[in-house]
A and B are shown apart, each in its own frame.
Chain A
Amino acid sequence: MSSNCFRFENIAIEVESVEGDCNVGFHTGDRFSLEALIPKGLCPFLYHTALPYLAAIEHEALFSLPENNFIIVQCPNPTVGVAAKIHQTGKDPCIEVVSTRTKKSDCPYCQFKIGDNWLISKGETRFCSRAYDSLFPYLNALSSEIRTDGIDKDMLAVTCPSYPNFVTFRVERL
Chain B
Amino acid sequence: MNPCRLSSQIETVPIVFKCAQKNARCGYHKKYQEFKFSNLAPDGMCPEAYHNLYFISLGILFNAKFEKKQLVVKCPATENYVVFKAGFERLNLRFRFLNVVKRLLCKMYIGQIYSGRLFWEIIKIKGKCPRGHEIGSRFYINKGNFQITPNLLFPLGEAYELCPALFDNLFPYLYSLQREKHFPYSDNSTDFIQCPDHKANITLEIGEYSE
Contact = CB atoms under 8 A, between A and B. Distances in A.
Interface of A: 1-2, 4-6, 45, 48-53, 55-57, 59-63, 72-74, 76-81, 83, 99, 107, 130, 133-134, 136-138, 140-141, 143-145, 147-148, 150, 153, 155-164, 166, 168
B72 A163 contact: yes
A46 to B, nearest CB: 10
Given A50-B196, A136-B172, A140-B173, 9 more contacts: A2-B185, A48-B172, A49-B196, A61-B59, A76-B169, A79-B185, A138-B76, A159-B74, A162-B73
Contacts of B172: 48, 136-137, 140
A141 B5 CA distance: 12
Contact of B1 (A74, A153, A163): A153
Contacts of A81: 194
B179 A157 contact: no
A148 B179 contact: yes
Contacts of A2: 184-185, 187
Contacts of B83: 163
A168 B6 CA distance: 17
B198 A73 contact: yes
Interface of B: 1-3, 6, 21, 48, 51-52, 54-59, 62-66, 69, 72-78, 81, 83, 124, 165, 168-176, 179-180, 183-187, 192-194, 196-199, 201, 203
A interface: dominant SS: mixed
Nearest to A49: B196
A82 B198 CA distance: 9
Contacts of A59: 59, 64-66
A76 B193 contact: yes
Contacts of B183: 76-77
Contacts of B194: 74, 76-78, 81
B48 to A, nearest CB: 8
Given A137-B51, A161-B52, A45 B185 contact: yes
A147 B183 CA distance: 12
Contact of B179 (A99, A134, A145): A145
Given A45-B185, A49-B169, A56-B58, A159 B176 contact: no
Contacts of A161: 52, 55, 73-76
